[in-house]
Amino acid sequence: MKLLEIYILRRIVQMFLVTLVPVLTIIWTIQVLGRVNLVTDTGQSMGSFMMLATFILPTIVPVVLPFALAIGITQTLTAMNNDSELPVIDAAGASRSIIYRPVLLLAAFLSLFSFVVANFVEPPARVAARKMVAEAYADLLSSVIEEKTFRSIEEGLYVQISERHSGRVLTGLFVVDNRDPNFDLIYYAREGSIDESGTSLTMRDGEVHRKTPDGRISIIKFMSYAFDLSAMSGAETPSLSPGDRSLGFLLNPDLTDPHIIGSAGSYRSELHARLTDWLFPFIFALISLVVAGDSRSHRQTRLHPMVIALVLAFGLRWLGFSFKNLVKQDEAYIFLMYLLPAATTAASVYLLASHRQIRIPSAIWRLVMPTWHRIRQRWTSRLGGRA
């Protein structure tokens, strides 16, 4: 690569990382905090919690990465234009490939990186996270819940035990189940035991109180009663969603798999999403070049190129999700998932080759620009007042 290309690439990479790391950290933190109940409810160690957080990270990288790249490219090229670097490059008679080559090389590398993460890193991480949560909850009653303490297992389900004995035997069981809006259930048993799989609690010598919304109460005594724990504790082998499956499985699914029966559309849409979504970094890079890759005069009234690029990027991503939902319902729409990246790439290449620019229609421009100028003036005045 030429010295100028290395200079442009270095600036774009720096801006890309400056954008990616904070945004990724914020989203990752939000996702992790949503699962902090793994520690509070099951008594897991902080090391287990951090391991779960690590498994979550690959699920958000492919989503954030294309937008960070678009911001990095548009911001870098806009700054170079404002510093008169792009006009100097054009005035010197340099080829536009000096700008295009480093951008497209970086975009191609990040697209391949997204493909690897989405197809070979994310699915195993999802499965590992599911198994970790399932195993943490599977042994919840027999080893984690403190004696003589009420514990909320999930919304509407509370458990208290008096003593815990060897052999997974519990005494003094008290269970309150308000999950069904049609009635409330209160269980009391002198003794109980949990099976080896952790999915069934057998209570002995007790009674159950059943209260309906109209206030009627019925009391049933029992010698033995089996309480299903699978819904709250998770199974030892948790059910897998299409996003948890490997690319090889999606390409050649086992039609006898119970998870596929009745949900073939979800697996179909997931497969074609895996084969197309990894192209978004390259597509967004092309759009960013179309929007900000040319030298323009400072006197030209226009929106910031980053705003235009992000609006187009969000629009394309929304279309991608919409087409995925259509494919889930009917396989006749599969071609749309491949038409979107192909048409966007072709249009962007045509605009770059013909040195055309994306122009906002004058009618929309007259509506948008006054509002944009008012926002800028208010923001400038506030900053000036604080200074």
Report whether pLDDT(310) > 70.
Answer: yes
More confident residue, 239 or 109: 109
d(CA 2, CA 98): 8
Report whether pLDDT(229) > 70.
Answer: no
Please tell me the predicted confidence (pLDDT) of residue 140.
57
Percent of the chain at pLDDT > 70 equals: 79
d(CA 88, CA 251): 50
CA distances from 317 to 166, 259, 260, 283, 340 (A): 55, 28, 27, 11, 10
CA 286 to chain centre: 24
Per-residue pLDDT of 313-348, as tens digits, reads: 999 999 999 999 999 999 999 999 999 999 999 999
CA distances from 314 to 52, 282, 287, 308 (A): 29, 15, 12, 10
Residues 6 or more apart whose CB falls under 8 angstroms from that of 45 comprise: 39
Please tell me the predicted confidence (pLDDT) of residue 84.
83
Report whether pLDDT(272) > 70.
Answer: yes
Please tell me the predicted confidence (pLDDT) of residue 234.
45
With CA atoms as reference, report the closest residue to 237 among 265, 267, 257, 263: 257
Per-residue pLDDT of 150-172, as tens digits, reads: 776 667 778 888 887 776 788 88
With CA atoms as reference, report the closest residue to 309 among 67, 79, 102: 67
Stretch 244-273: mean pLDDT, rounded?
A: 85
**Average pLDDT in the chain:** 82
Report whether pLDDT(278) > 90.
Answer: yes
Please tell me the predicted confidence (pLDDT) of residue 163.
82
More confident residue, 271 or 149: 271
Q: Find the DSSP H helices in 34-84.
A: 37-42, 46-82
Query: Which of the residue ranges 25-39, 49-63, 370-384 would you say has the lowest mean pLDDT?
Result: 370-384
Strands 169-177 and 200-211: unpaired
Confidence band of 146 (pLDDT split at 50, 70, 90): low
User: What number of other Cβ atoms are within 10 A of residue 251's Cβ?
Assistant: 11
Q: With a threshold of 0.85, does the pTM exceed it?
A: no
